[in-house]
Structure 1
Amino acid sequence: MIVQRRAVTAVLAAAALLLTAGCSSDDGEPSGADGGTSPSRTTAQSSPSASAAEQTPPAKGSVKVLRTVATGLKSPWGLAPLPGGGLLVSSRDEATITRVDEKTGKKTELGQVPGVSPSGEGGLLGIALSPDYASDHMVYAYFTSASDNRVVRMLYDEKKPSGEQLGAPDTVFRGIPKGVVHNGGRIAFGPDKMLYAGTGESGDTGLSQDKGSLGGKILRMTPDGDPAPGNPFPDSAVYSYGHRNVQGLAWDDKQRLFAAEFGQDTWDELNAIKPGDNYGWPRAEGESDGSEFHDPLAQWSTDEASPSGIAHAEGSVWMAGLRGERLWRVPLKGTEAAADPQAFLEGEYGRLRTVVPAGGDRLWLVTSNTDGRGDAKGGDDRILELRVT
């Protein structure tokens, strides 16, 4: 893999410092004749002075697979660790949520989510716990219905029998465009206790630049589904736009948001998200020549990545690759890539869907080989526990 880097240059003049600053199908099938042939690149996105005081992680890291936590999962997509122990896992195609005992691997089905319409890349996708889960026991889910993509919340009652532990879904947000492809689907509560959702343009590229559409966006809303206070556009849940298909959301320890999205034929992206910014799709894929669009901090050829989930740990963003079948490490200095991305586990576990912090230097990693696009082997799909540096 050849890596190229574009340096940030500073010019001092007149006492002023000027800083110049296809389809990798979401699930990994190329659509262009030349898709997936370009090398990875990293791009500086912030002033060195803005991040000079931050500790920079080493250029090279490491990954060790500590153990296989669970096997035999069917089309797993989202994962949410419970505060008292246990992992909730959503099944895209079966529309179920299952609790996995992270110590024994025992699986207990909570129930099936009604109203889910699995098709293509749609179905039961991301899940997240309420920021007040300790008192309200609410589980949020993003799914594809017969008419749209939506976010619901359900009461999780552990005292009820297996299969009956999920309450009726309460729809908190609806109207996100759906399609056979590009349904987005990742949801996460941020440090501000607001709910963020990554959406796709559902195959209609014009939606991404339309600030009046919910497709091709990162959305930010209250837990009740209202546009969150402080959003960049009045009375709108839209937080950033110009995205193709966002399936990775994570915050660093300074509460800065990062997002991964699928490119088409040339570049997959890792972006530092700034509210109100335009990330270019479909007018730009990867870096662009003009200043109108927010360039990615790192980008990959589509056969190296096809990124879904991301997590922040040990000073780096860790990115799960579907078609790329590898875990990427991007060390950060502020909102810059501090060094070239580094790949781990290449081809060892097949397609990688979701990666979630497990505390300290540990990560949970979910494979994705039983969704119809992978080469499923005995034991798939599985959850792994990793130690990373």
Structure 2
Amino acid sequence: MTYRGPLALLTALALTAAGCGSAAGAPEPAGPVATILAPSAVSGTPDLDAPQVMAEGLDVPWGLGFLPDGDALIGERNSGRILRLTPGAGQPREVFQVPGVTPAGEGGLLGLAVSPDFARDNLVYVYFTAENDNRISRFRLDTGNLEVVFDGITKGTYHNGGRIAFGPDGMLYAGVGDAQNTATSQDPDSVNGKILRLTPDGQPAPGNPTPGSPVFSLGHRNVQGLAWDSAGRMFAAEFGQDELDEVNLIEAGHNYGWPDIEGEGDTHGGRYTNPLVTWKVADASPSGIAINGATAYVAALRGQRLWTLPLNGATVGEPVAHLHERYGRLRTVQIAADGALWATTSNTDGIGNPSDGDDRILRFPAR
């Protein structure tokens, strides 16, 4: 069943988040968890001095996920193709073409997430821009039958969000942009400018801050990175506008301030939650985020670098920049089961300056 329509039930959430600095507690875990790889389960640390080019000549690779056998699935934003890459087997091969993808501006085939129960259900989830909206669909990799699970997300030329990921609770999380309408981020009747928490079937997840609502947090501009540490804490990377990009610790029901605040500096009596770390937009424009042990890796587009953040529980240490201008714009990062860090470049997206071989899939093996 597809979730549709305005979110009248979000009024209580908005009032709660607006009226105090604290919010509802974290939802109770639900759903399958056994097959989700915890960051603490991987071994080693990615060696950023030992890059391997796994594939090249791709068309804006955006979504990236791993199958249980170690193969990678890659989604191309503009073509709508899903590619399967077997390490050591050369260039990836097309395994599915997502029907109905309508690329324009920053829209197209965006996030990709492999079902945590893939060995049983063979399902892959995708977030993409269709003719009239952004939507989340899923398909069986063995049959290719596409099913819409959540639609009606307002699309825009920019700020479509698009990152999807399964959390340690087995629920599907989605970063949704404001679609260039800043008012939606604080609007209780809009799913835009939010992080959503859904069941694998696309329904509002049990334990959400407002029962029957898909919204987990609000006050976002354009979240394109979602990751969890080994304790189950959720971190998100978010684009700022003119001044400051952010990494936030995401908590159920919290309001992260957009459009009233960009970066730190809540002057609204504790109404909003401040970010853990900020950068000047020229140094970051953060997209993907991945966590391995006590380190978060943040891919920067405009900044053309990879940021590492030391994690200390719910706080972070001083960010360190790596790979500055070595590969151009970095879009997505993921940690594989063997501890390697995979990254996609985004130089063919109409903003970057592609060089021979772009766009690429990079792998930094664990040491």
Q: TM-score range by the shorter chain?
A: 0.7 to 0.9
Q: Distance in 1 between matches of 2:51 and 2:247?
A: 27
Does residue 1:295 correspond to 2:274, yes or no?
Answer: yes
- Residue identity matched to 1:352: L
- Residue identity matched to 1:296: P
Residue matched to 2:15: none
Residue-by-residue CA offset, 1:142-184 (whole Å, 9 max, x unaligned)? 0001111100000111xxxxxxxx6231000011110000000
Which of 327, 335, 348 is 1:349 aligned to?
Answer: 327
Question: 1:70 touches 1:102 (CA, 8 Å); kept in 2?
Answer: no
- Residue identity matched to 1:344: H
Residue matched to 2:126: 141
Residue matched to 1:317: 296
Structure 1: which 5+ residue stretches go unaligned?
1-19, 22-54, 56-60, 158-165
Residue matched to 1:305: 284
Residue matched to 1:188: 165
Q: Distance in 2 between matches of 1:326 and 1:207?
A: 31
Residue matched to 2:229: 252
Give aligned-pair identity as a percent.
Answer: 54
Residue-by-residue CA offset, 1:104-149 (whole Å, 9 max, x unaligned)? 3331101211111111000000011112100110110000011111
Q: Distance in 1 between matches of 2:352 and 2:220?
A: 25
Q: Distance in 2 between matches of 1:86 and 1:148?
A: 31
Question: 2:163 touches 2:225 (CA, 8 Å); kept in 1?
Answer: yes
Q: Distance in 2 between matches of 1:65 and 1:272?
A: 30
Q: Distance in 1 between matches of 2:262 and 2:76?
A: 30
Residue-by-residue CA offset, 1:23-67 (whole Å, 9 max, x unaligned)? xxxxxxxxxxxxxxxxxxxxxxxxxxxxxxxx9xxxxx9722331
Question: 1:64 touches 1:387 (CA, 8 Å); kept in 2?
Answer: no
Q: Distance in 2 between matches of 1:336 and 1:105?
A: 40
Residue matched to 2:201: 224
Q: Distance in 1 between matches of 2:331 and 2:279?
A: 17
Partner of 2:183: helix, strand, or coil? helix
Residue matched to 1:8: none
Residue-by-residue CA offset, 1:77-103 (whole Å, 9 max, x unaligned)? 000111112111001000110111222
- Residue identity matched to 1:266: E
Question: 2:54 touches 2:91 (CA, 8 Å); kept in 1?
Answer: no
Q: Distance in 1 between matches of 2:266 and 2:191?
A: 27
Change (3 A) 1:276 1:375: same
Residue-by-residue CA offset, 1:1-26 (whole Å, 9 max, x unaligned)? xxxxxxxxxxxxxxxxxxx99xxxxx
Does residue 1:363 correspond to 2:341, yes or no?
Answer: yes
Residue-by-residue CA offset, 1:314-333 (whole Å, 9 max, x unaligned)? 31110000000000001011
Does residue 1:331 correspond to 2:310, yes or no?
Answer: yes
Q: Distance in 2 between matches of 1:105 and 1:238?
A: 41
Partner of 2:174: helix, strand, or coil? strand
Structure showing greater radius of gyration is: 1
Q: Distance in 2 between matches of 1:280 and 1:254?
A: 25
Structure 2: which 5+ residue stretches go unaligned?
1-20, 23-39, 41-45
Question: 1:314 touches 1:388 (CA, 8 Å); kept in 2?
Answer: no
Question: Where does structure 1 differ by over 3 angstroms across 4 or more consecutive aligned residues?
Answer: none
Report the number of matched residues: 323
Does residue 1:204 correspond to 2:181, yes or no?
Answer: yes
Q: Distance in 1 between matches of 2:211 and 2:71?
A: 39
Q: Distance in 1 between matches of 2:90 and 2:260?
A: 46
Change (3 A) 1:135 1:311: same
Residue-by-residue CA offset, 1:250-285 (whole Å, 9 max, x unaligned)? 000111110001000000000000000000000000
- Residue identity matched to 1:102: P
Q: Distance in 2 between matches of 1:307 and 1:272?
A: 15
Partner of 1:331: helix, strand, or coil? strand
Q: Distance in 1 between matches of 2:330 and 2:366?
A: 16
- Residue identity matched to 1:347: E
Q: Structure 2 length as normaliser, TM-score? A: 0.85
Q: Distance in 2 between matches of 1:63 and 1:84?
A: 24
Q: Distance in 1 between matches of 2:337 and 2:207?
A: 30
Partner of 1:134: helix, strand, or coil? helix
Q: Distance in 2 between matches of 1:239 and 1:134?
A: 28
- Residue identity matched to 1:101: T
Residue matched to 1:383: 361
Residue matched to 1:277: 254
Partner of 1:303: helix, strand, or coil? helix
